[in-house]
C-alpha cells in the first residue's frame, strides 16, 4: 500500500498482512529519524531523502490511525499550557493538546518497545527514473520490483526495474546473434523535478504534458518516456524524450520567470493530505528540485517551561491542563468533583490537590465558550516576542539558593555572582541547571519562510484536510544553560547612540531593500521597519554567537549543539512589556533525560569571566579582515549583517534563531575604522 497514491496511507498495513501470512518481511518500515530532525527538517509535507527513493510525511489524520490501531489507550500528551494557548490563538480552539511524534525510546538494543509506532509517509515524488535505461515512469510501472525484505535494514528498500534492457547494449553471447537485448534488474531513483507555488501547493512535474507541449502523444496512448541526464545531474540539465514519437524537450526551458509562463496552472495540490485546494489556486507555479532548501519551511513556536506569576494566567494554565488530561470526559463528569479527582489521580498535575472551590473554578473555565471576538483582537496584535516576555520576567528573580527548583516544570536555577573580572556591561549571571523546552509545529510554508509573510495564519499550509487540527506535533527537549544579562540602563544609552549613527541607517536601508525584493508576493503590505530588530538585538545576538564559540571549546559540546534564546527588546508600556537585554545559551536533547552538565560547570564566576573576555578578544580579529571589519551594506546590496562572517561570529543554523542575520561585531567591540565608538564593550 505504500505505493498506492489513491488510498489512505497505512504504513503498517503491509506488515499486518505479512504477519497473517507468517511471512518475514519489512514492507512497512523504510527508515528512521530523530525527533529533532522531524521537527526542524522533515515534518509533515516535507520530503525525506532515503537511500533509494524519497518519501513525504503525511497529514495528522494518518497519525491518528497509528495511535488508534497500534497502541492501547489515549496517545500521550505534552504538558505546556502556555505554548498550547498560543497555538490555539493562531490555529483555533479546536486544538486541544500537544502530542509527541509516534515514537518511543527503547531500553536496550534488542528491545522491541515502540516497534509498532512510526511516522506515516508516502512515496513522493512518484515519478521514477531507471538508472540502467533512463526509463521515466511512475512507481506503478516498477511496483513489482519493490524490495524491502531485510528485517533489520529498512534503508535498503528500493524500487527495481526488473526487465531493464540497459542503454542499447546487446548480449555478446547467443542472444546478440538473435538481436535480443540482455535484461536484468536495475534500481530506480526519484525524478527530481516538482512544481510548487507560493500558496504552499506542491505537485509532480507533468513530464508527459511537458515533452508533448500540452498535447497528447500522436503515436501512443501511454507513451514511453525517458530522462537523459546532462551536466552530471545538477540543475535543470535533463532532457525529456518520448521514445514513442521522438519528441524532445529540455528541462532548462522551465527555469526562471520566462519558464513559469510555459508551465501548466497550479492544481492546488496538497500531496501530504492527498487533497486539493477547494477553491483552486491562482498563483503561478515554478520549477522546484526535490532537494531545494526552500521546499519546506516549518512554522514553529517554542517555550522554555517557566511558571507564570499572574493569577489569571495561572488559572488559565490549570484549565488548559485539565482539558488536556481529561478531554471529553471533563464535560461528562463536570458535576462530580470526586470523579474528576479520581481521573486526575496519578497524573502528576497537582490539580487533584486543589480544594473544591478552586477545582470547580478551573472546570468552569475549561468548559466556558470561547469569546471569538476577543481571540481575533488578540491575534491581530500578537507577536512572537510575547512568548518570551513571561520567561524574561521569571529570570529577573534571584534564586533563593543553589539548585532552586520549581516543582511543576522542574526548572532549576542557581545564583552566580558577577566576577570583578567580567567586562563592564554584564550585570547578572544565572546557572540554569535544568530546563525543559517544548516546541510545537503549527504548519509550514513553501517558497518563502514564515517571516516573509505578514498574514501568519492564512499563509500556513494546513496539517489536516479540513478545519483546524485537534492536536499538533510537539517535542520536549531537556537540558541545561547559562543566562547572561546586560546592564539595561547602559544598553538604553548605547542604543540611542547607535540609532543616530550612519551605520545603523545603512543597515536600515539594506533591510528595506532586502524586504522589498524577497517579501512574498502573497503577503500583505507591511512596513519593513516593523520587522527590523532594534540595535540591542544585534548586540545581544552577536555577543551570543561569540560566546557559543568559546563555550564549545571548553564545555565538551559541539558548537552546533548549543542554541541561543535571545531576550532583547525596548520597553513598551502600551503592551506591558519591560525592557530586556539578555541571552540564554543552552543545550538540549529531545530523546534523552537531559545533558551532561558540562555547560553549567562553566557558569562559575571566574571561569565565565575568562570565557567572556576571550570572546571579546577573539571578536576583535577575523581571518577575513579587513574585508569583514569594514563591511557596510550599500545600494544595491541587501545583506542583513555588517562586520560578521563564518570566520568570526556566524553560527550553524541549529544554533542561531535568526538565520545568521542581524549580526555586526562593531556593535560589540571596537574595530578599526570610523565606527569604533559604537562598541558596547569599549574597554
Tens digits of residue pLDDT in 422-457: 999 999 999 999 999 999 999 999 988 877 655 556
Average pLDDT, the chain: 86
User: What does the pLDDT average to over 100-129?
Assistant: 80
Q: Count Cβ neighbours within 10 Å for each residue of 218-238 and write b for 16 or more, e otherwise.
A: eeeeebbbbbeeeeeeeebeb
CA 314 to chain centre: 29
Asked if residues 71 and 117 have their Cβ atoms less than 8 Å apart, the reply is yes
Is 659 exposed, middle or buried (CB count within 10 Å of its CB: 0-12, 13-18, 19+)?
exposed
CB 211 within 8 A of CB 247: yes
CB 365 within 8 A of CB 351: no
Per-residue pLDDT, 195: 95
Q: Long-range contacts of range 622-631, CB-CB < 8 Å, 24 or more positions apart?
A: 622/647, 622/648, 622/665, 623/647, 623/648, 624/648, 626/672, 628/665, 629/665, 629/666, 629/671, 629/672, 629/673, 630/672, 630/673
CA distance 555 to 551: 6
Predicted structure pTM score: 0.86
> What pLDDT score does 245 carry?
93
Please report, rounded to a whole number, the percentage of residues in the chain having pLDDT higher than 90: 50
pLDDT digits (tens, 9 = 90+) for 297-314: 999 999 999 988 778 888
Q: Is the pLDDT of residue 597 over 50?
A: yes
Q: Of 658, 627, 656, 652, nearest to 640 (Cα)?
A: 658
Q: Is 69 helix (H, G, I), strand (E, B) or coil?
A: helix
Average pLDDT over residues 406-424: 93
Task: Name the residue with cell 518563502.
Answer: 448
**What is the C-alpha separation between 26 and 20, in angstroms, rounded?**
14
Backbone angles phi, psi at 361, to 5 degrees: -65, -35
Q: Is 518 helix (H, G, I), strand (E, B) or coil?
A: helix
317 band by pLDDT with thresholds 50, 70 and 90: confident
State the pLDDT at residue 1. Answer: 31
pLDDT attached to residue 188:
94
State yes or no: cis peptide before 252, omega within 30 of 0: no
Whether pLDDT at 5 is above 50: no
Tell the residue number behind the cell numbers 497519525, with chain if given.
63
Query: How much is the average pLDDT of 279-285?
Result: 88
How confident is the model over 199-223, as a mean pLDDT?
A: 93
Q: Please, what sign has the CA dihedral across residues 639, 571, 543, 599?
A: negative
Least confident of 44-48, 179-183, 262-266, 475-479: 179-183
Question: If you write DSSP's letter for every residue of 362-406 in order, what string do you get?
Answer: HHHHHHSPP-HHHHHHHHHH--GGGGTHHHHHHHTSPPSSTTEE-
The answer to whether 245 and 223 are in contact (CB under 8 A) is: yes
Q: Tell me the mean pLDDT in the region 335-361.
A: 80
Largest CA distance in the chain: 94
The mean-pLDDT minimum among 38-42, 288-292, 349-353, 503-507 falls in 349-353
Euclidean distance between CA atoms 86 and 585, whole angstroms: 24
For residues 114 and 105, the answer to whether their CB atoms sit within 8 Å is yes
CB 668 within 8 A of CB 619: yes
- Between 232 and 548, the more confident residue is 548
pLDDT tens-place string over residues 118-143: 888 999 999 999 999 999 999 889 98
Query: What pLDDT, on a 0 to 100 scale, did the predictor assign at position 398?
Result: 93
Query: Where is pLDDT greater, at 20 or 369?
Result: 369
pLDDT score of 320: 82
Looking at the predicted structure, is the pLDDT value of residue 497 above 90? Answer: yes
Going from N- to C-terminal start, the domains of the chain cover 192-289, 306-368, 375-678
What does the radius of gyration of the chain's CA atoms come to, in whole angstroms? 28
Q: In which residue are the cell numbers 568559546 written?
A: 550
Name which of 302, 301, 297 is nearest 449 in CA terms: 297
Amino acid at each position: 500500500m505504500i505505493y498506492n497514491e489513491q488510498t489512505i496511507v497505512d504504513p503498517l498495513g503491509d506488515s499486518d498482512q505479512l504477519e497473517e501470512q507468517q511471512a518475514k518481511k519489512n514492507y512497512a518500515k523504510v527508515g528512521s529519524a530523530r525527533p529533532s530532525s522531524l521537527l526542524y527538517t522533515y515534518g509533515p509535507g516535507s520530503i525525506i531523502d532515503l537511500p533509494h527513493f524519497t518519501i513525504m510525511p503525511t497529514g495528522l489524520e494518518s497519525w491518528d490511525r497509528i495511535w488508534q490501531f497500534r497502541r492501547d489507550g489515549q496517545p500521550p500528551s505534552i504538558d505546556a499550557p502556555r505554548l498550547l494557548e498560543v497555538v490555539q490563538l493562531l490555529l483555533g480552539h479546536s486544538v486541544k493538546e500537544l502530542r509527541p511524534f509516534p515514537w518511543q525510546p527503547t531500553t536496550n538494543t534488542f528491545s522491541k518497545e515502540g516497534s509498532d509506532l512510526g511516522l506515516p509517509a508516502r512515496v513522493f515524488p512518484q515519478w521514477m527514473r531507471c538508472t540502467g535505461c533512463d526509463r521515466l515512469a511512475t512507481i506503478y510501472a516498477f511496483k513489482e520490483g519493490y524490495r524491502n525484505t531485510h528485517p533489520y535494514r529498512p534503508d535498503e528498500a528500493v524500487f527495481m526495474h526488473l526487465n531493464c534492457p540497459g542503454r542499447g547494449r546487446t548480449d555478446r553471447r547467443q542472444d546478440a546473434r538473435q538481436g535480443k537485448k540482455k535484461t536484468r534488474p536495475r534500481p530506480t531513483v526519484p525524478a527530481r523535478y516538482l512544481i510548487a507555488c507560493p500558496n504552499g501547493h506542491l505537485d509532480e512535474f507533468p513530464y508527459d504534458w511537458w515533452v508533448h507541449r500540452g498535447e497528447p502523444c500522436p503515436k501512443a496512448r501511454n507513451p514511453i518516456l525517458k530522462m537523459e541526464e546532462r551536466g552530471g545531474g545538477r540543475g535543470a540539465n535533463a532532457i525529456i524524450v518520448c521514445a514513442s514519437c521522438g519528441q524532445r524537450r529540455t528541462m532548462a526551458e522551465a527555469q526562471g520567470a520566462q519558464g513559469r509562463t510555459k508551465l501548466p496552472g497550479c492544481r492546488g495540490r496538497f500531496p501530504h493530505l492527498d487533497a486539493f485546494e477547494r477553491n483552486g489556486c491562482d498563483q503561478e507555479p515554478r520549477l522546484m528540485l526535490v532537494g531545494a532548501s526552500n521546499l519546506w519551511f516549518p512554522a514553529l513556536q517554542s517555550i522554555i517551561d517557566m511558571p507564570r506569576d499572574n493569577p489569571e494566567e495561572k488559572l488559565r494554565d490549570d484549565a488548559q491542563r485539565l482539558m488536556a488530561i481529561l478531554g471529553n470526559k471533563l464535560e461528562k463528569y463536570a458535576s462530580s468533583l470526586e470523579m474528576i479527582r479520581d481521573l486526575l489521580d496519578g497524573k502528576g498535575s497537582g490539580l487533584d490537590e486543589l480544594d473544591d472551590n478552586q477545582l470547580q473554578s478551573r472546570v468552569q473555565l475549561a468548559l466556558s465558550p470561547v469569546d471569538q471576538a476577543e481571540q481575533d483582537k488578540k491575534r491581530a496584535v500578537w507577536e512572537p516576542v510575547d512568548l518570551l516576555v513571561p520567561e524574561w520576567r521569571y529570570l529577573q528573580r534571584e534564586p533563593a539558593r543553589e539548585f532552586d527548583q520549581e516543582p511543576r516544570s522542574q526548572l532549576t536555577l542557581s545564583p552566580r555572582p558577577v566576577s570583578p573580572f567580567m567586562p563592564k556591561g554584564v550585570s547578572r549571571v544565572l546557572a540554569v541547571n535544568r530546563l525543559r523546552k517544548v516546541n510545537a509545529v503549527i504548519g509550514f510554508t513553501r517558497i518563502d519562510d514564515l517571516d516573509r509573510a505578514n498574514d501568519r495564519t492564512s499563509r500556513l499550509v494546513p496539517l489536516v484536510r479540513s478545519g483546524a487540527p485537534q492536536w499538533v506535533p510537539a517535542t520536549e527537549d531537556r537540558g541545561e544553560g547559562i543566562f547572561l544579562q546586560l546592564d539595561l540602563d547602559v544598553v538604553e544609552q548605547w542604543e540611542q547612540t547607535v540609532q543616530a549613527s550612519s551605520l545603523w541607517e545603512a543597515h536600515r536601508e539594506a533591510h528595506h531593500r532586502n524586504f522589498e525584493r524577497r517579501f512574498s508576493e502573497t503577503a500583505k503590505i507591511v512596513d519593513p521597519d516593523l520587522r527590523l530588530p532594534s540595535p540591542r538585538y544585534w548586540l545581544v545576538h552577536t555577543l551570543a554567537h561569540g560566546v557559543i564559540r568559546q563555550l564549545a571549546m571548553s564545555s565538551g559540546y559541539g558548537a552546533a549543539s548549543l542554541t541561543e534564546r535571545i531576550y532583547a527588546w525596548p520597553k513598551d508600556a502600551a503592551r506591558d512589556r519591560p525592557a530586556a537585554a539578555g541571552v540564554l545559551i543552552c543545550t538540549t536533547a529531545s530523546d534523552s533525560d537531559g545533558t551532561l552538565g558540562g555547560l553549567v560547570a562553566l557558569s562559575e564566576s571566574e571561569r565565565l569571566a575568562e570565557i567572556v573576555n576571550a570572546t571579546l578578544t577573539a571578536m576583535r580579529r577575523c581571518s577575513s579582515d579587513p574585508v569583514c571589519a569594514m563591511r557596510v551594506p550599500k545600494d544595491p546590496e541587501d545583506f542583513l549583517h555588517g562586520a560578521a562572517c563564518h570566520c568570526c561570529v556566524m553560527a550553524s543554523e541549529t544554533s542561531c534563531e535568526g538565520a545568521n542575520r542581524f549580526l555586526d561585531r562593531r556593535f560589540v567591540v571596537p574595530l578599526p575604522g570610523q565606527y569604533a565608538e559604537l562598541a558596547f564593550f569599549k574597554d
